[in-house]
């Protein structure tokens, strides 16, 4: 009998890590992600299983909360196979290298401080280094193509399908045959928003004996895409027309490419006032190049944008600024658009742009993503009039505007619609969600689909 257990993203949204163990002891993982935000301390806790006993890890997509503990898994003895789409493996390298770099920086700062107190022994080393990330890529990798079935041995087959969330993202169907009995377990992965400009909508799956579905926004509906785009266009145009600049804090993967896509469409439709647009984030530039490279898995609209030079989002005026010198040179520009990370303004190049632009009332800081409690982004959104950046007090006179409708996740109705397309759906299990939202989603599933969904608890044993 196959047994399922969650060791992350059970009654929480981060740390995705699900294990499937067969009667003969063979064990697989679906994702091995990092806990983030208030759950961060859990990254140092034991996995809850023996990494050496895992024969394969299947990755649904490259977000840190789905791949972030993988280098640690390898350090602790995992030597099996990794199965993922090519795009996921390449994006994951960008994400994990960035994460290793940030952890190394944080470690150096904490170590220096502790050293001055004579307590350097107390600072734990980073969870992994860039070398550990590289080691991951020495393991055997099987690249999944959407719709093709992969034999994993031990009577297990896997099929990846586009989950519509970010480049390379997948839902995974596992077919398990044990002692003449067949079971289909489906892992939704993170499911995308069907109105996403860049990624096509999630593909349906036909059958599941057990569906493990994400439930991040199982309690709410997103704002309409048309309103979101119109609001974005209006704020950008108005700011540029009054001679101001637009500063957009953005996540490197997916949100940045959506913003580039929108700006390019504005440019093509001659709606964008003449201005320079800077993508000022080495990580976002690397991610954007991967979107170019894997354009055939993007939306039809995006594919039509492809230029002869192989770039999707380029237009005259758009500049990718790679070096710190190029980034600093942007300070002299007036009436421009700057896209930089981090998306929540808690680090990265966005800080120096905010330092140079916040004091000026002609400028706009345009937020296009969620701002967590405790971040500079959140303080700005909440209307703070003075903020400290690099030890300097800055007055906030720029317009602070939030466009809420962008989301890389399906909302309640989209999740229900995706579930509604199964021709046979037996048991439903909820993962990747907060308990209060999951409880509401359980009610919606009962009402709309007549099914009793179960909220998966950490470590709980579910026999398939
Ligand atoms: Zn995700
Ligand atoms: Zn996720």
Distance between Cα 280 and ligand 2 center (Å): 25
Ligand nearest to the backbone CA of 169: 1
DSSP state letter for 458: B
**Could you give the C-alpha distances from 439 to 41, 274, 444, in angstroms and in order?**
26, 49, 9
Distance between Cα 384 and ligand 1 center (Å): 30
Ligand nearest to the backbone CA of 216: 2
Distance between Cα 421 and ligand 2 center (Å): 22
Decide if 25 contacts 19 (C-beta within 8 A).
no
pLDDT digits (tens, 9 = 90+) for 197-225: 999 999 999 999 999 999 999 999 988 88
pLDDT digits (tens, 9 = 90+) for 32-47: 999 998 888 999 999 9
Mean pLDDT of 284-310: 95
Decide if 171 contacts 187 (C-beta within 8 A).
yes
Which region, left, alpha or beta, applies to residue 391 given φ > 0 means left and ψ of -120 to 50 means alpha? left
Structure tokens at 377: 């982004």
| In the predicted structure, residue 371 carries a pLDDT above the cut 90 | no
Hey, what CATH class is 225-402 in?
alpha beta
Domain ranges of the chain: 3-220+408-463, 225-402
Which CATH superfamily, name and number, covers 3-220+408-463?
Answer: Ribonuclease Z/Hydroxyacylglutathione hydrolase-like (3.60.15.10)
Distance between Cα 67 and ligand 2 center (Å): 10
| In the predicted structure, residue 367 carries a pLDDT above the cut 90 | yes
Structure tokens at 422: 């199964």
Distance between Cα 239 and ligand 1 center (Å): 32
Residue (of 146, 127, 140) closest to 40 by Cα position: 127
Distance between Cα 16 and ligand 2 center (Å): 7
Measured distance CA(129)–CA(142) in Å, rounded: 24
Q: In sequence order, what are the beta bridge partners of 400?
A: 365
Please tell me the pTM assigned to this model.
Answer: 0.94
pLDDT digits (tens, 9 = 90+) for 80-108: 999 999 999 999 999 999 999 999 999 99
Residue (of 31, 36, 28) closest to 12 by Cα position: 36
Ligand nearest to the backbone CA of 432: 2
């Amino acid at each position: 009998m196959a047994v399922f257990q969650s060791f992350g993203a059970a009654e929480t949204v981060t740390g995705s890590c699900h294990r499937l163990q067969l009667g003969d002891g063979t064990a697989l993982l679906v994702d091995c992600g990092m806990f983030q935000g208030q759950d961060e301390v859990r990254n140092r806790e034991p996995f809850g299983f023996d990494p050496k006993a895992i024969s394969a890890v299947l990755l649904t997509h490259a977000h840190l909360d789905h791949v972030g503990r993988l280098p640690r898994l390898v350090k602790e003895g995992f030597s099996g196979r990794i199965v993922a789409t090519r795009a996921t493996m390449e994006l994951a390298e960008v994400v994990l290298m960035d994460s290793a770099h940030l952890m190394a920086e944080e470690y150096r700062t904490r170590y220096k401080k502790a050293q001055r107190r004579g307590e350097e022994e107390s600072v734990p080393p980073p969870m992994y280094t860039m070398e550990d990330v590289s080691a991951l890529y020495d393991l055997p990798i099987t690249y999944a193509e959407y719709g093709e079935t992969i034999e994993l041995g031990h009577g297990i087959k896997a099929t990846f399908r586009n989950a519509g969330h970010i480049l390379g993202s997948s839902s995974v169907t596992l077919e398990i045959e044990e002692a003449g009995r067949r079971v289909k377990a489906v892992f939704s992965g993170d499911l995308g928003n069907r109105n996403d400009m860049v990624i096509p909508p999630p593909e349906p799956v036909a059958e599941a004996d057990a569906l493990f579905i994400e439930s991040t926004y199982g309690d709410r509906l997103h704002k309409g895409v048309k309103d979101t785009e119109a609001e974005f266009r209006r704020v950008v145009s108005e700011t540029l027309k009054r001679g101001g600049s637009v500063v957009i804090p953005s996540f490197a993967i997916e949100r940045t490419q959506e913003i580039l896509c929108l700006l390019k469409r504005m440019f093509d439709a001659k709606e964008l006032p003449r201005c320079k647009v800077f993508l000022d984030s080495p990580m976002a530039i690397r991610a954007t190049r991967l979107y170019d490279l894997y354009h055939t898995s993007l939306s039809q609209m995006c594919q039509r944008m492809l230029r002869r030079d192989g770039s999707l989002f380029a237009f005259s005026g758009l500049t990718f600024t790679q070096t710190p010198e190029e980034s600093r040179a942007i300070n002299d520009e007036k009436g421009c658009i700057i896209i930089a990370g981090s998306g929540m303004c808690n680090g990265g190049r966005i800080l120096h742009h905010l330092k140079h632009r916040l004091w000026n009332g002609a400028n706009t800081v345009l937020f296009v993503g969620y701002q967590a409690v405790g971040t500079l982004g959140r303080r700005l959104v909440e209307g703070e009039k003075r903020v400290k950046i690099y030890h300097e007090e800055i007055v906030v006179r720029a317009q602070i505007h939030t466009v809420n409708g962008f989301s890389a996740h399906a909302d309640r109705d989209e999740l229900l619609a995706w579930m509604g397309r199964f021709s046979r759906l037996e048991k439903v299990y909820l993962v990747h969600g907060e308990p209060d939202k999951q409880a509401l989603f359980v009610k919606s599933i009962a009402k709309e689909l007549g099914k009793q969904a179960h909220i998966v608890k950490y470590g709980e044993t579910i026999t398939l």
